[in-house]
Structure 1
Amino acid sequence: MGLNIAMVCDFFYPQPGGVELHIYQVSQQLINRGHSVVIITHAYDQRSGVRTLSNGLKVYYVPFYVIYRESTFPTVFSFFPIFRNIMIREQIDVVHGHGSMSSLCHEAIIHGHTMGLATVFTDHSLFGFADAGSILVNKLLKFTLSDVDHVIAVSHTCRENTVLRATLNPQDVSVIPNAVISEDFVPDPAAADPSFITIIICSRLFANKGADLLLAIIPRICSMHSNVRFKIAGSGPKEVDLQQMIEQHRLQERVELIGGIRHEQVRDLMVTGQIYLHPTLTEAFGTVIVEAASCGLLVVTTKVGGIPEVLPSHMTVYAEPSVQSLVNSTSEAIKAVENNTVDTTTFHDEVRTIYCWSDVAARTEKIYEDILASDRSETLVERMQKHYQCGPFAGKLFVLCVVVDVMLLHLLEWLYPRRSIDLAKKWPIIK
């Protein structure tokens, strides 16, 4: 029998990105497996209310205030009335939150547990332990994951990071990597200009994605290799700095800034190059390098986070996250392409056998089934004890939040009884 699943995250289409792609593809595959899936996110500009995407995937764009990089302002309790209404309307069995920086995700897991629903969390990022921002996020994560039934990480490095940050039992954390639709990233050798070696960069232009490194790397590579040019797709605060770098070094004919592109345009950009450069400073997985390899590009990337787990070594040239190391590794890749010492024609078929979204959905489905088959009964006192252990000060605050959340649920049940909420009709499943 199919499950009713709610994916909750601040980050979803129309914003492009790896988390957004993951949520969409897993949802589509779960629908193909006979489940009903809805997505809850915040409103994007004029996109608010309820939208239905392909295959009957329903998206609730909730009007909440965005404070930073599409993350909503944490309201703790004001999301509960809307959330409860959606859960009842859609008869949800499993609440699946995504992203440590998503306020809606954290709140959905807390409220979902209060309502007695199964809860799952997927972590897509890596965070440190020393700076103020990481300490705050980690404490919030510890609060949220005290209520969660199971945690999914997209790489083994991400799993270790999440276990340490939230003080979790490693047995409660599974690794399910991202994937690609290999049919959408088929190589086209005729698309690349043979008179140049084109290096492709497709990423958000933020500091954590290595945009500052690009400012130093690109002029040096261009001065060392006269037959090399760059195509950069993406947008962000560092885009202005890249434009200034191009003008300063007079690289208008060597470096092309394309700007933000849709995901369906990524393949057409990839196949025009021979090398993909990914100078990230931190990354839990890196779906874009899998897409690049599937398009037949040799990948130059930094050896950080979960990146070394993603691709076989013959598809990549690794570097340390420093200017000199990246220059050396990029030059090594350029020589490999010039001398034809790497056979990139086999990359697509290899990637196709390694990564598949249907496999990701099947493994996620197994986690849902195991949770629902287990004994999840818990008294309020037992729940409060778990939160109380989160810290001498934070623990008391978390317990207070739980008590208020439970009281709010009873108030909502009295003000807006379940019988007064209309149930949504399910999209017909055609077999």
Structure 2
Amino acid sequence: MAENGKQRILMVSDFFYPNFGGVENHIYYLSQCLIKLGHKVVVMTHAYSDRTGVRYMTGSLKVYYVPWKPFLMQNTLPTFYGTLPIIRTILIREKISVVHGHQAFSTLCHEALMHARTMGFKVVFTDHSLYGFADVGSIHMNKVLQFTLADVSQAICVSHTSKENTVLRSGLPPAKVFVIPNAVDTTMFKPAPERLSNDEIVIVVVSRLVYRKGADLLVEVIPEVCRLHPNVRFVIGGDGPKRVRLEEMREKHSLQDRVDMLGAVPHAKVRSVLISGHIFLNSSLTEAFCIAILEAASCGLLTVSTRVGGVPEVLPDDMVVLAEPDPGDMVQAITKAINMLPHIDPQTMHLRMKRLYSWHDVARRTEIVYEHALRCPSQPLLDRLSRYLTCGAWAGKLFFVVMLIDFILWRVLQVWQPDGDIEVVPEIDPASFHRVEMSLNGEAKEKT
């Protein structure tokens, strides 16, 4: 269905705007850059409160907010086959050539990839997270991932550490997995116009205040840093269940004038928080990549981070100080970073980030993955189903039955509503869409 090498791509995930996070930003910026390269991109996600139906975003990006409500951590309830009719309709209406699912946590992503493979579409999966191998939740998720990736065309990981983790968890051949890092919008994240004075050192934390993000480490690190460095002040942006512990720490050590708790920070205001500081502190206990570090470095902040997951791959050694996820080691790393500050030039750091990370580069590399996926030969049903039998003695048989039923239901849908009865959406010229968008923006400005 591709024309002149230009693809029609369906991005699928439970995580998208108006929710904010690393996965949401990745999908949005990647989609915008792919559109600029001439591809058509459509996003499919679940409904958010009153946001349902079809919406258009900047650059003619079309979003299907399907009428499924999240039930846990922004995830939809698993239905296995409940999403088949609507996914089939979208694939045919938009003449999709590649289905690209994001995030192993996303129920909608797994179901979309399953149905797309049943219908013979090429599918690509991007993993944004790291998982363990011991706890019950990780074991369950690893088995789900093994099922989803058993018949995937190609996969993408955001770091080499993430690739190794995904290959071990899913059994996917390493040759099928590409490493394409995240990027940062350097036009949005710029340093402050004037360099901040080093008389008072401001350490910024912008993160969800949850266990995985190391909020408990902050409770132990902050009082010790304040004791060792009287000229240090902390600014903490974010919300979550661990916020209470941080507030209790602030009260216990009488640090109300040295620890500012901002609460949840909208993404549009993250830059204004970052440029108020000198050092960015990331205390995550697990991280596949961490876009927040890129945003901070683009704003000219020196980063102190825990040495976990793919974090050591993100920045050059002279732009980050790494520490073990231990309070004592983190305090030493912060002290080292404070001593490095006189040698840090925010503007130079910003220019380096522009050269290192670009969403346009990510989009061009993703294009190559799509080309590899489209070159994968189509296989008969029995050959495809046999792959699921290798997923375990009992799980393999279960996966085989699940996919066989999915195939039968798809055939029933084809008889009940033939493909030809589904109306194909008319083409919209991105240039004309841009002209309408500019006109509406102009009218809005006149009214204000």
TM-score (normalizing by structure 1): 0.96
2:37 aligned residue (33, 39, 52)? 33
Q: What residue number does 1:83 align with?
A: 87
Q: What residue number does 1:72 align with?
A: 76
Q: What residue number does 2:128 align with?
A: 124
Q: What CA distance in whole angstroms lies between the structure 1 residues aligned with 2:85 and 2:304?
A: 48
**Alpha-carbon deviation of 1:189?**
5.3
Q: 1:115-142: per-residue Cα shift (whole Å, max 9, x none)?
A: 1111000011110111111110000000
Q: What CA distance in whole angstroms lies between the structure 2 residues aligned with 1:217 and 1:68?
A: 31
Instruction: Report how many residues are paired.
Output: 428
Partners of 1:191 and 1:271 within 8 A in 2: no
Q: What residue number does 1:19 align with?
A: 23
2:10 aligned residue (6, 15, 20)? 6
Q: 1:66-119: per-residue Cα shift (whole Å, max 9, x none)?
A: 232112211111011111111111111110000011111111111000111110
**Alpha-carbon deviation of 1:247?**
2.2
Q: Identity rate of aligned residues, in percent?
A: 49
Partners of 2:195 and 2:346 within 8 A in 1: no
Q: What CA distance in whole angstroms lies between the structure 2 residues aligned with 1:426 and 1:18?
A: 31
Q: What CA distance in whole angstroms lies between the structure 1 residues aligned with 2:239 and 2:62?
A: 28
Partners of 1:191 and 1:272 within 8 A in 2: no
Partners of 2:153 and 2:376 within 8 A in 1: no
Q: What CA distance in whole angstroms lies between the structure 1 residues aligned with 2:215 and 2:294?
A: 20
SS at match of 2:284: coil
Map 1:261-300 onto structure 2 (within 5 A).
261-300=265-304
Q: What CA distance in whole angstroms lies between the structure 1 residues aligned with 2:47 and 2:147?
A: 26
Q: What residue number does 1:426 align with?
A: 427
Partners of 2:17 and 2:24 within 8 A in 1: yes
Q: What residue number does 2:356 align with?
A: 354
Q: What letter is aligned with 1:245? A: M
**Alpha-carbon deviation of 1:388?**
0.6
Q: What CA distance in whole angstroms lies between the structure 1 residues aligned with 2:94 and 2:246?
A: 46
Alignment CA distance shift 1:63-1:245 (3 Å): farther
Q: What residue number does 1:397 align with?
A: 398
Q: What residue number does 1:383 align with?
A: 384
**Alpha-carbon deviation of 1:332?**
1.7
Partners of 1:315 and 1:344 within 8 A in 2: no
Q: What CA distance in whole angstroms lies between the structure 2 residues aligned with 1:360 and 1:151?
A: 14
**Alpha-carbon deviation of 1:191?**
6.8
Partners of 2:124 and 2:373 within 8 A in 1: no
**Alpha-carbon deviation of 1:243?**
2.0
Cα RMSD between the aligned structures?
A: 1.5
Q: 1:221-276: per-residue Cα shift (whole Å, max 9, x none)?
A: 11221111111111221122222222222222111111222222211211110000
**Alpha-carbon deviation of 1:343?**
4.2
1:62 aligned residue (66, 72, 80)? 66
Q: What letter is aligned with 2:175? A: Q
**Alpha-carbon deviation of 1:62?**
1.7
Q: What residue number does 1:414 align with?
A: 415
Q: What CA distance in whole angstroms lies between the structure 2 residues aligned with 1:357 and 1:220?
A: 39
SS at match of 1:184: coil
2:205 aligned residue (197, 201, 207)? 201
Q: What CA distance in whole angstroms lies between the structure 2 residues aligned with 1:100 and 1:129?
A: 15
2:338 aligned residue (330, 334, 340)? 334
Q: What letter is aligned with 1:157? A: T
Q: What CA distance in whole angstroms lies between the structure 2 residues aligned with 1:151 and 1:301?
A: 28
SS at match of 2:277: coil
1:140 aligned residue (120, 141, 144)? 144
Unpaired runs of at least 5, structure 2: 433-448
Q: What CA distance in whole angstroms lies between the structure 2 residues aligned with 1:279 and 1:5?
A: 36
Partners of 1:36 and 1:426 within 8 A in 2: no
Correspondence 1:368 to 2:385: no
Partners of 1:30 and 1:36 within 8 A in 2: yes
**Alpha-carbon deviation of 1:51?**
1.1
Q: What CA distance in whole angstroms lies between the structure 2 residues aligned with 1:154 and 1:124?
A: 6
Q: What CA distance in whole angstroms lies between the structure 1 residues aligned with 2:108 and 2:299?
A: 35
Partners of 2:202 and 2:235 within 8 A in 1: yes
Map 1:312-327 onto structure 2 (within 5 A).
312-327=316-331
Q: What CA distance in whole angstroms lies between the structure 2 residues aligned with 1:426 and 1:232?
A: 46
Q: What CA distance in whole angstroms lies between the structure 2 residues aligned with 1:333 and 1:394?
A: 49
TM-score (normalizing by structure 2): 0.93
Q: What residue number does 2:166 align with?
A: 162
Partners of 1:276 and 1:297 within 8 A in 2: yes
Q: What residue number does 1:45 align with?
A: 49
Partners of 2:30 and 2:363 within 8 A in 1: yes
Q: What CA distance in whole angstroms lies between the structure 2 residues aligned with 1:100 and 1:344?
A: 36
Partners of 2:48 and 2:69 within 8 A in 1: no
Q: What residue number does 2:446 align with?
A: none
